[in-house]
Amino acid sequence: MFGKDNEKRFKNYNATSKKESKMMSNYIVVDEQTGVQYLFSAIGYSGGMTVLVDKDGKPLLADGYK
């Protein structure tokens, strides 16, 4: 997942609101192979990532993926 072969698999999109915090960052991460979107949040030295799902619990896909 994190090797050289997969460096371009995931793309980050800044999802920060207009009011930015110096300690908190939020990004939408897209798996370029599957189109699945993840929310990555970081505060200081810690963070976490979780899949984004629709109302039925299915993973949200980026535009252009089925």
Q: What is the pLDDT of residues 20-60, one digit of tens each?
A: 556 778 889 999 999 999 999 888 889 999 999 999 999 99
Counted domains in the chain:
1
In the prediction, which pLDDT does 22 show? 61
pTM: 0.69
Q: What is the domain range of residue 47?
A: 4-51
CB neighbours of residue 44 within 10 Å: 8
Measured distance CA(33)–CA(41) in Å, rounded = 22
Distance of CA 28 to the CA centre of its chain: 3
Q: Does residue 64 sit within a domain?
A: no
Query: Which of the two residues, 57 and 4, has the higher pLDDT score?
Result: 57
